[in-house]
Amino acid sequence: GQSLEQPSEVTAVEGAIVQINCTYQTSGFYGLSWYQQHDGGAPTFLSYNALDGLEETGRFSSFLSRSDSYGYLLLQELQMKDSASYFCAFSSGGYNKLIFGAGTRLAVHP
Amino acid sequence: SAVISQKPSRDICQRGTSLTIQCQVDSQVTMMFWYRQQPGQSLTLIATANQGSEATYESGFVIDKFPISRPNLTFSTLTVSNMSPEDSSIYLCSVVVVGGPSREADTQYFGPGTRLTVL
C-alpha cells in the first residue's frame, strides 16, 4: 500500500532548529513534498525533493533519501509564526497526484 | 503561481441535500484535484478533475456521491450529494500550473477551502 509516517507533534522554542521526519512506503515514487498549513488556512507549498540530497529555501531545508524511503524538513531560526501543521506528501502515479501524511503540529514557544 | 478562489467559503446544510462547490483559477492549469480535510486531520484526495471527461476517483469515493465537472482549464465544481453529518469537512481544490520550470510542475496550489457543516 501507500503510506507516510511523521510525528504528530513537535515543540520547540524561538530561534531553535527543528527537524520533522517523514518515512514513506509506496510502489511508485516521484518525489517528496512539504506543505505548511496554519489553522484555518490552506496548505501552502514549502519544498520538493525529486532526487536525493538537500534542498534549501531560506530558513527551510528539505532532505530526501530514496534508498531509505526517508525525508525530513529542517526549520531554522524558528519564529512564532512557524507554529503550524506540516505535511509531507509524495507524488505517485506520474501526474502530480499527492498522497499526504497525517501531519506534524509544530508549536513554537517564546 | 496561481490564485485560486472557492465558493462558498462555508455553508451549513441539512441532511439529504446537496451542495456544489466552485473552484476558479486565474491561469490555465494542467491538473485540478479535489481534497477533503476533516478538522485536525490530513488531506484525503477525492478525485482528479479531468477537462472534458469524467473525473478519476480515488478508492472510497464514487461519482454518484461526489460528481465533478471541469468544463475548461480554469474552472471545476464538486458536488456533495445527499449529505449526511459524516460529510462535514473542509473541501479544497488544488491545481498544478502550466508551463513553469520543473519545480512548478511538481507544486500544487490550494484554494482557501469550503467549510461544510451538515446538520
CA closest to A43 among chain B residues: B110
CA dihedral defined by B44, B25, B52, A30, rounded to 10 degrees?
Answer: -50
Nearest to B108 among A30, A41, A45 (CB): A45
pLDDT at position B111 is 95
- Enter the C-alpha cell of residue A92: 505517485
Question: Per the CB < 8 Å rule, is A98 touching B45?
Answer: yes
Structural contact between residues B77 and B91, judged by C-beta atoms closer than 8 angstroms? no
Give CA–CA dist A66/B104, Å, rounded. Answer: 21
Nearest to A100 among B42, B103, B111 (CB): B42
Å from B5 to nearest chain A CA? 11
Q: Which residues, 6 or more positions from B113, have their beta carbon under 8 angstroms from its beta carbon?
A: A42, B6, B9, B37, B90, B91, B92
Give CA–CA dist B2/B23, Å, rounded. Answer: 12
The conformation of residue B112, written as its DSSP 8-state character, comes to -
Which has more pLDDT, A39 or B29? A39
pLDDT at position A97 is 79
Q: Which residues, 6 or more positions from B57, have their beta carbon under 8 angstroms from its beta carbon?
A: B46, B47, B63, B66
pLDDT above 90 (res B22)? yes
Total CB pairs under 8 A between chain A and B: 51
- Enter the C-alpha cell of residue A59: 530558513
Average pLDDT on B94-102 reads: 69
**What is the maximum span of chain A, computed from C-alpha positions, in angstroms?**
42
CA closest to B48 among chain A residues: A97
pLDDT at position B104 is 53
pLDDT at position B55 is 93
Question: Tens of pLDDT along A90-110?
Answer: 877 655 678 899 999 999 999
Structural contact between residues A72 and A19, judged by C-beta atoms closer than 8 angstroms? yes
CA closest to B106 among chain A residues: A96
Question: Per the CB < 8 Å rule, is A100 touching B112?
Answer: no
Give yes or no for A74 touching B (CB within 8 A).
Answer: no
Grid cell 485536525 is found at: B40
Average pLDDT on B18-37 reads: 92
Question: Tens of pLDDT along B52-74?
Answer: 889 999 999 999 999 999 999 89
β-pair partners for A53: A64
Task: Please report the residues numbered 23 through 62 in chain B whose beta carbons come closer than 8 angstroms to any beta carbon of chain A.
Answer: 30-31, 33, 41-45, 48
* Helix, strand and coil percent figures for chain A, each rounded to 5: 5, 60, 40
Å from A59 to nearest chain B CA? 19
pLDDT at position B102 is 56
Which has more pLDDT, A8 or B99? A8
Residue from A8, A32, A100, A105 whose CB has the most chain B CBs within 10 Å, to mutate:
A100
Mean residue pLDDT of chain B comes to 90
Grid cell 505548511 is found at: A36
Give CA–CA dist A19/B48, Å, rounded. Answer: 32
pLDDT at position B99 is 55
Question: Per the CB < 8 Å rule, is A96 touching B105?
Answer: yes
Q: Are strands B19-25 and B75-80 parallel, antiparallel or unpaired?
A: antiparallel
Q: Report residue B30's pLDDT band, with 50, 70 and 90 as the boundaries.
A: confident
pLDDT at position B98 is 60
> Backbone phi, then psi, for B17, in 5-degree steps?
-95, 180
Q: Which residues of chain A have pLDDT under 70?
A: 93-96
Give yes or no for B105 touching A (CB within 8 A).
Answer: yes
pLDDT at position B27 is 84
Q: Are strands B10-13 and B114-118 parallel, antiparallel or unpaired?
A: parallel
